[in-house]
């Protein structure tokens, strides 16, 4: 081979790829710098943008909480990054989050990553805006009214009680229980019955397990790169969603044939269908399936995370569990006759300390780590510019961590909630359900469900966490890495 041929080969093999790489890096750097709005004199927040195209998405997906903690330590309460294909500002701290949540429709609008929008669909509540969002939220809120919640209480109590009995039987046989997957199955059954109107045994155990697995696959891939090719996260998430949609469509058709609910109450899906029909509109099957899928996501995945954390904290703090039992004893809910006693809304509302245990659990371990917005215009936040079109993530877990309202922040202390906080100080210091116009529609349902779960647990069970305090991971919901192996025994009813 001549020298010229060798030189040409070397250029093609080494020099051109290197130049292409350097050009890509330079263009990425210019893209990151020019993302700044030149009409605003303020600087961009500190931070890094990561690799071209991928940004820092891979680090977030692989490291999750460790990555976010490192960023907070290095850059503070507001920093820039590049996630899920978009330049992003991550925000935490009471005043910063207040600015974002109260700026809905004025400074920011909800905008989840492209993969979330694609999988959940454009017709679900979290992807609607302005009048459409307000209208749909008003309809769905009927399913979480006080009257509706009173109808749900016996169903929740029945499912939780049956589940705990099965746990005790399993543990009695000498085997430990992996709590997190068990709780997810429990919460899925409750959500299927209450939110979508499935009757007990309607899906069958095999079908139920298949649906649970499909839902978990969908959730695992909600936050992924927006690339729909075989074996990608988005591809797998969409295939799992299709399985769920098929079952929901089957249930919608059954509702249309039955005309009237058989359980004495109207579930959220029934209310959505009736509202559409009462307005003389054609039922949009795709929108109904998307709304139902979103309700299932909000109604079981997040409550499963919170209920698992509840078991964790009560298992680690026996004094708190004893205080819960003392409160139950004072209300006649502990002892020989308590097992057959049906809970009612008035009694649950009187369980102040148990409610504080739920709040403290949500403070230390909020199931949802934060929310996504997009900047509608360039605006100032604490001395930095947030450019128009950039994504904004407000952090729930970090805001809880740094809130000055709470002393001894790492300590599990439900008593901190026994005395009311000043309204203005607490409004954005404790935000497990978000805040502002986009606060969680099912938050009262979640509180009631978790309270019933805590009551049934304290009435019936003692337990030991076999691995001690678990390592928590976010993916995208908070969960214990080891699934929380636990040994349950029957509680003897004595405080």
164 Cβ contact partners less than 8 Å away, ≥ 6 residues apart: 456, 457, 460, 461, 488
Instruction: Please provide the average confidence, as pLDDT, over all residues in the chain.
Output: 86
Instruction: Convert the pLDDT of each residue in 31-87 to its tens digit.
Output: 554 578 899 999 999 999 988 778 888 888 777 778 888 999 999 999 999 988 889
Domain range list for the chain:
40-490
Residue 343's pLDDT band, with cuts at 50, 70 and 90, is very high
The pTM of this model reads 0.86
Residue 137: predicted pLDDT: 84
**Res. 119: pLDDT tops 50:** yes
β pairing state of 391-395 and 86-91: parallel
ω into 476 cis (within 30 of 0): yes
**Dist. CA 288–CA 292, nearest whole Å:** 6
- CA torsion 168-171-177-183 (nearest 10°) is -10
Q: State pLDDT tens for residues 214-238.
A: 988 998 888 888 888 888 889 999 9
Q: pLDDT higher for 352 or 438?
A: 352
Banded model confidence at residue 290, pLDDT cuts 50, 70, 90: confident
Highest mean predicted confidence (pLDDT) among 7-11, 178-182, 470-474: 178-182
- Flag whether pLDDT at 30 surpasses 50: no
Residues 315-333 pLDDT 10s: 999 999 999 999 999 999 9
Average pLDDT over residues 451-457: 97
Cα 116 to chain centroid distance, Å, stands at 13
Can you name the CATH fold of 40-490?
Cytochrome p450 (1.10.630)
- Helices 285-296/233-258 angle, 10° precision: 110
Residues recorded for the chain: 495
Q: How much is the pLDDT for 424?
A: 66
pLDDT on residue 444: 93
């Amino acid at each position: 081979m001549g020298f010229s041929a060798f030189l040409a080969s070397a250029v093609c093999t080494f020099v051109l790829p290197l130049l292409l790489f350097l050009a890509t890096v330079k263009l990425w750097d210019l893209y990151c710098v020019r993302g700044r709005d030149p009409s605003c004199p303020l600087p961009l927040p500190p931070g890094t943008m990561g690799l071209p195209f991928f940004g820092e998405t891979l680090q977030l997906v692989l490291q999750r909480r460790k990555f976010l903690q490192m960023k907070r330590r290095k850059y503070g309460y507001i920093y820039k990054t590049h996630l899920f294909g978009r330049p992003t500002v991550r925000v935490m701290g009471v005043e910063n989050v207040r600015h974002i949540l109260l700026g809905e429709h004025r400074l920011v609008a909800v905008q989840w990553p492209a993969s979330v929008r694609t999988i959940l669909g454009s017709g679900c509540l979290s992807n609607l805006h302005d009048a459409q969002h307000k209208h749909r939220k008003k309809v769905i809120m009927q399913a979480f009214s006080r009257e509706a919640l009173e109808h749900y209480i016996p169903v929740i109590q029945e499912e939780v009680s049956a589940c705990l009995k099965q746990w005790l039987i399993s543990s009695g046989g000498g085997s430990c229980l992996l709590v997190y997957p068990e709780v997810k199955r429990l919460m899925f059954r409750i959500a299927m019955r209450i939110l979508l109107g499935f009757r007990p045994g309607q899906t069958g155990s095999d079908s139920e397990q298949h649906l649970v697995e499909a839902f978990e696959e969908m959730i695992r891939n909600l936050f992924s790169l927006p690339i729909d090719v075989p074996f990608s996260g988005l591809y797998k998430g969409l295939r799992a969603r299709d399985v769920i949609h098929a079952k929901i469509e089957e249930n919608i058709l059954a509702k249309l044939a039955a005309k009237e609910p058989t359980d004495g109450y109207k579930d959220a899906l029934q209310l959505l269908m009736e509202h559409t029909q009462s307005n003389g509109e054609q039922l949009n099957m795709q929108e109904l399936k998307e709304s139902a899928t979103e309700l299932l996501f909000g109604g079981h995945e997040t409550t499963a995370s919170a209920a698992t954390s509840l078991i964790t904290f009560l298992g680690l703090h026996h004094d708190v569990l004893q205080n819960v039992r003392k409160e139950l004893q004072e209300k006649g809910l502990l002892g020989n006759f308590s097992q057959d006693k049906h809970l009612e809304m008035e009694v649950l509302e009187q369980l102040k300390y148990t409610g504080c245990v739920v709040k403290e659990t949500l403070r230390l371990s909020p199931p949802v780590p934060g929310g996504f917005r997009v900047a509608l215009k360039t605006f100032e936040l604490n001395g930095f510019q947030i450019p128009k079109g950039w994504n904004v993530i407000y952090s729930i877990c970090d805001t809880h961590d740094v809130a000055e309202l709470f002393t001894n922040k790492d300590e599990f202390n439900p008593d901190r909630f026994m005395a009311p906080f000043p309204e203005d100080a607490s409004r954005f210091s404790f935000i497990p359900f978000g805040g502002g116009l986009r606060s969680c529609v099912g938050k009262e349902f979640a509180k009631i469900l978790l309270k019933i779960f805590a009551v049934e647990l304290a009435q019936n069970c003692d337990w030991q966490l076999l691995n001690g305090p678990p390592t928590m991971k976010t993916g995208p919901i908070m969960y214990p890495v080891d699934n929380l192996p636990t040994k349950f025994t029957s509680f003897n009813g004595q405080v």
